[in-house]
């Protein structure tokens, strides 16, 4: 059987499934299970997670527009519901090595994150879904040079410090 490249219909169906995951989640009380809810996604071979409270939706960017003179961590922007949204580069933000393999493309999902009314997008490979981690399941990363990573879940997922990242990118505050 010959593998066919994904069609626009395949990409649309993947995004619709990912949106369904986002919209179908049931609110989980962190106090009830002594943990916190995260949205897990992949970028290349890496598994990452962000606090669910910052995740808005997953969508496709039909046309990523380069932004001349923008910082290296900005891939470009796209029109989302009449608003221009910046798309950020995970390898640049996180300090992944330049040879880090990536399977992202123009048809890769964009994970929209929101802080203080501002939205930014992260180009990701795949949105996995929501997962609640108990506080004891997340450990710190000693000696890590990865920026914006606050810890690692016991499943190997890197936990992004989204609040710090977004405060720095959107407002130019926070420490990097």
Give residue 14's domain range.
Answer: 8-27+34-171
Whether residue 3 is contained in a domain is answered as: no
The model scores a pTM over 0.95: no
More confidently predicted of 17 and 172: 17
Q: How would DSSP label each residue in the chain?
A: -PPPPPPHHHHHHHHHHHHHHHHHPPP--HHHHTEEEEEEEEETTEEEEEEGGGEEEEEE-S-PBP-TT--TTEEEEEEETTEEEEEE-HHHHHT--TT------TTSEEEEEEETTEEEEEE-SEEEEEEEEEGGGEE--TT---TTEEEEETTSPEEE-HHHHHIIIIIS-S--
Whether residue 78 is contained in a domain is answered as: yes
| CATH number for 127 | 2.40.50.180
Overall domain count for the chain:
1
At 89-126, the pLDDT tens digits run 888 887 765 444 444 455 678 999 998 888 899 988 88
């Amino acid at each position: 059987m010959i593998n066919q490249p994904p069609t626009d219909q395949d990409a649309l169906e993947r995004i619709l499934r990912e949106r369904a995951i986002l919209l179908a989640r049931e609110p989980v009380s962190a106090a009830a299970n002594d943990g916190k809810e995260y949205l897990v996604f992949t970028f290349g071979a890496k598994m990452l997670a962000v606090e669910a409270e910052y995740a808005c939706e997953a969508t496709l960017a039909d046309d990523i527009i380069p932004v001349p003179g923008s910082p290296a961590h900005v891939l470009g922007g796209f029109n989302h519901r009449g608003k221009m949204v910046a798309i950020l580069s995970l390898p640049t933000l996180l300090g992944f090595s330049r040879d880090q393999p990536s399977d992202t493309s123009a048809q890769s999902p964009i994970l929209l994150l929101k802080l203080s009314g501002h939205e930014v997008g992260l180009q990701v490979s795949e949105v996995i879904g929501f997962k609640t981690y108990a506080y004891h399941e997340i450990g710190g990363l000693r000696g890590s040079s990865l920026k914006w990573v606050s810890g690692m879940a016991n499943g190997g997922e890197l936990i992004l410090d989204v609040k710090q990242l977004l405060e720095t990118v959107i407002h130019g505050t926070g420490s990097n």
